[in-house]
Amino acid sequence: MKIKTQHIFPIIFGAACILSVTNCASNKPDPNRKLIWNDEFNTKGLPDSSKWNYDVGGHGFGNEESQFYTKDRLENARVENGNLVIEARKENWEQSKYTSARLLTRGKFSFQYGTVEVRAKLPKGRGTWPAIWMMSENMKKWPDDGELDIMEHVGYNQGYIHASVHTKKYNHIQGTQKTDTILVNDASEKFHVYKADWTPEKIEVYVDDKKYFTYINKEKNNEAWPFDRPYYIILNLAVGGFWGGKEGIDDGIFPQKYYIDYVRVYQNK
């Protein structure tokens, strides 16, 4: 989602699917997989520092985003009522006009192959850009070391959920990124489970057990498949940017809250 480059995300989407209003995924016991990491957000206050780090700054993070990402600030990231709440606010901070937060497990937890499930309710409004995504723990160069976007949503295109991979061969700079889209009409009104299954052979992305994106390791080389190394998890709510702000920012919508009920990572037994 957010890489340190100055190129624009082209709006290149696959055929959109329509998702019915279901919320059925992920609570079924599966004897073939083992829970290896999770955060259920059952405490109160700041996010668990043993599990989460922060990216901090207001330099646009490569996409000309408008927010300043803060650290250890309850107004922007807190745990309450069983949820992680990432809140974007209209306020002056440093040189930015908005604040928000970007949490990541880099340096705390990474894994290679498995299933990621995140149950979340998304913010709403023009200018919002929440995401669930993953990058290489030992990222040296983007996009060579890969990026997996499990969920992206831009507020001016309400309900359309996007999943993508970016690699050296397939990326948005070249207009060759692999991506697809599904319509979730109530993504900002109800919680849904956003899931990625990652194996050495393929990556499959779901919403509430509805699969809508598959990327297969056909070429068996690093330029097309860098997904053979440990990755970490990122949760963030951007404001504006090349994609999120493509149709401007509606200042009347703030504050906007991004609710995450849980993050769970499984590996096959």
Numbers of helices and strands, H then E, in the chain: 0, 18
Burial class (CB within 10 angstroms; exposed 0-12, middle 13-18, buried 19+) of 190: middle
- Side-chain half-sphere of 101: how many Cα atoms within 13 Å? 26
Cα separation of 42 and 265, whole Å?
17
Name the token pair of 27.
């609570």
Name the active-site residue from 65, 87, 117, 152: 152
Cα separation of 161 and 20, whole Å?
13
Cα separation of 68 and 17, whole Å?
34
Among residues 102, 194, 86, 209, the alpha carbon closest in space to that of 148 is found at: 194
Q: Is 147 a catalytic residue?
A: yes
Name the active-site residue from 94, 147, 201, 219: 147
Name the token pair of 88.
């974007």
Cα separation of 243 and 235, whole Å?
17
Give, as one character, the DSSP assignment of residue 15. Answer: P
- Active-site positions read 147, 152
